[in-house]
Structure 1
Amino acid sequence: MLAYTIRRLLLLIPVLIGMSLITFSIIHLIPGNPAHTILGEQATPAAIEELERNLGLDKPYIVQYGLYVKGLLTGDLGTSLRTKSPISEEMRPFLAATVELTIFSMIFAIIVGVNAGIVSAWKQNSWFDYTSMIIALVGVSMPIFWLALVEQWIFAQELGWLPAFGRENARDPVEIVTHLYLIDSLLSGRVDQFWGSIKHLILPGIALGTIPMAIIARMTRSSMLEVLRSDYIRTAKAKGTHQFFVIYKHGLKNALIPVLTVVGLQTGTLLGGAILTETIFSWPGMGRYIFEAIGNRDYPVIQSGILVVATIFVLVNLVVDLLYAYVDPRIKY
């Protein structure tokens, strides 16, 4: 297992180098003079020259890339052109908000999707099977923004059960420690704030997790149907093993490989694809942060935001690869 882990970590090096090259090249792919494009048509030559000097655009390309990588290795993501603040500090609360929303959405998607897929495979061709697969098909096809607006209308406006916007109660804000409000509220011993943060997460979390939930349910059902027809499952049933243990102990573990792949890919997708959800629910996450940077032509923020999200995506897939070897020991050979 250790040798397998080391090999997977070594394979990350060329991937990370490629990602850094792509994100570094963003500013150089701008047609014309990047500094002139950032500052606009009314920029003076002196302002353009100063911005080129600040961004290092007056140096050779290879020197610029070397300085860029050096900054990344020291945790320096640069400075925002709009706010003049260090991007690594400015990005932290936005990244924490997106991570919290993504984790909540994936927990919802995994719990509902995996169990719906298992029961559908177990009760194949039953009313539950047909109903859950229809719901999964609708979930995959349903636009996120439409579901989000329907949730707000029903549960926030009509019923008043859940808040429609933001991460916290503005009248009783969470004391910031990690920028993960669920953790911060527990660290401060405020159960009421913890429950308030949960309520703010429910609507955007379900809206964002609906598509992954549907995909996981369909994949789990397909994988479980194949496994339940295996000889060792029939043997376990013949020995009188309880149906619950046959399915969850013997069947599910052997059906998890394709499900883990889907979970890893969907987690990475949610990290970078939550712009609509974050906009509708006024969620201060990475999607909105990068989107606003694009509107402000804040290219250092765009570069850093894309690189951070892509790095997390790669790390999530690394974790999935390691889980492969844990679930199926034959993988590491």
Structure 2
Amino acid sequence: MLHYIGKRLLHLIPVLLGMTFVVFLIIRAIPGDPAQVILGQQATEQAMAALRAKLGLDNPWYVQYFDYLKGLLTGDLGESLRTAQAISSEVWPYLAATFELAIFAMILAVIIGMNAGIISAWFQNSWFDYVAMIIALIGVSMPIFWLGLLEQWVFSINLGWLPTSGREEVRDPINAITNFYLIDTLIQGRFDQFVVAIKHLILPGIALATIPTAIIARMTRSSMLEVMRSDYVRTARAKGQKMFIVIYKHALKNALIPVLTVIGLQLGMLLGGAILTETIFSWPGIGRYIYEAIGYRDYPVIQSGILIVAFIFVMINLIVDILYTVIDSRIKYN
């Protein structure tokens, strides 16, 4: 197993290098001059030329790329062109916010999606099966930005139950320790702010969880239908065992491999693809961080942000592969 993990980590190096090269070329094809964005439309050509020289933007593209790689080898992600701050020091709060939102959304997706898929499979062709699969189809097809705006209009503007946007109350901010606000509020004993943090998570979390919930529900149903036709499941039912025992002890464990694969892929996509949700709900996550950097032509932030998201995505896939051996001891990696 350790040999397999080491081999996968070695394979990660050329993947990330290739990704950095492609991203480097693409972002420099974006129209606009970072120097002009920073200094404004009224800046003189001399001032912009001086700023380009200071930032190294007047060097050939291959020189800029190798300078960036040299920084990565020493653990330096570079400095933001907009804030002049080290990216490694300012990216964590954004990353923590995205982690908190994505994990909250994935917990909702797994609980609702897996149970809906299990019940649909057990009561195949029933009214619940038809309704659940229709809702799952709608969930896959529904645009996240439209759902987010609809949630804000119904639950925030009309009913006033939940906050429209943001991550905390502006009048009573949370002291960041880990930058995971649910954890920070518990550490500080601020249970009122814990409730506030949960309220801010609900709307963006539901919007972000919609597509993963639908995909997990459909995959769980398909996998469970295949397993429930097995002889050992029919034997367990014939012995008169309770439905809960048959499903969760016998059938689900053997149906979990494809479901776990989907969960891993969806979690990776949530961490990297929450840009729309974070923009709509003004959530200060890594997706919004990269989105704003694109507007400012902040090349180092874009490159480093995408690199971090890609690394997390690959590591999640590796963890999923390792979990296969935990679920099914017959799976071995040489």
Indicate whether the TM-score tops 0.5.
Answer: yes
Give how far 1:17 is off.
Answer: 2.5
C-alpha separation in 1, matches of 2:49 and 2:117: 58
Deviations 1:101-131, CA, capped at 9 Å, x for gaps: 1111111111100010001001111111111
Helix, strand or coil at the partner of 2:297:
coil
- Give the corresponding residue for 1:7: 7
What is the TM-score when the length of structure 1 is the normalising length? Answer: 0.90
What is the TM-score when the length of structure 2 is the normalising length? Answer: 0.90
Deviations 1:228-257, CA, capped at 9 Å, x for gaps: 101221222234433212111221111111
C-alpha separation in 2, matches of 1:255 and 1:65: 46
Deviations 1:179-238, CA, capped at 9 Å, x for gaps: 111111111121111111011000110011011101110110001000110122122223
C-alpha separation in 1, matches of 2:214 and 2:61: 49
1:238 paired with 2:262, answer no
C-alpha separation in 2, matches of 1:2 and 1:226: 33
Helix, strand or coil at the partner of 1:78:
coil
26-35 or 272-281: bigger deviation: 26-35
Sort the Cα spacing of 1:187 and 1:232 in 2 relative to 1 into closer, same or farther, 3 A.
Answer: same
CA contact (8 A) 1:121 1:222 kept: yes
Sort the Cα spacing of 1:232 and 1:5 in 2 relative to 1 into closer, same or farther, 3 A.
Answer: farther
104-113 or 167-176: bigger deviation: 167-176
C-alpha separation in 1, matches of 2:214 and 2:27: 38
CA contact (8 A) 1:36 1:43 kept: no
Give how far 1:6 is off.
Answer: 3.0
C-alpha separation in 2, matches of 1:153 and 1:224: 38
Deviations 1:42-95, CA, capped at 9 Å, x for gaps: 66367436524533753783x644432332243321111111111222222211
Helix, strand or coil at the partner of 1:146:
helix
- Give the corresponding residue for 1:80: 80
CA contact (8 A) 1:4 1:332 kept: no
1:259 paired with 2:259, answer yes
Give how far 1:146 is off.
Answer: 1.8
Helix, strand or coil at the partner of 1:212:
helix
Give how far 1:329 is off.
Answer: 2.8
- Give the corresponding residue for 2:317: 317
Stretches of structure 1 that go unaligned for 5 or more consecutive residues are none
Deviations 1:135-188, CA, capped at 9 Å, x for gaps: 111111111122112212222222222111110111221111111111111111
Counterpart of 2:234, as a letter, is R
- Give the corresponding residue for 1:326: 326
Helix, strand or coil at the partner of 1:149:
helix
CA contact (8 A) 2:34 2:296 kept: no
1:54 paired with 2:55, answer yes
108-117 or 70-79: bigger deviation: 70-79
Give how far 1:29 is off.
Answer: 4.7
Give how far 1:33 is off.
Answer: 9.1
1:213 paired with 2:218, answer no
Give 1:93-172 correspondences, 5 Å limit. 93-172=93-172
Helix, strand or coil at the partner of 1:289:
helix
C-alpha separation in 1, matches of 2:72 and 2:186: 32
Counterpart of 1:54, as a letter, is L
Give how far 1:35 is off.
Answer: 7.0
15-24 or 132-141: bigger deviation: 15-24
- Give the corresponding residue for 2:302: 302
CA contact (8 A) 1:102 1:271 kept: yes
Helix, strand or coil at the partner of 1:329:
coil
C-alpha separation in 2, matches of 1:74 and 1:192: 43
C-alpha separation in 1, matches of 2:322 and 2:189: 35
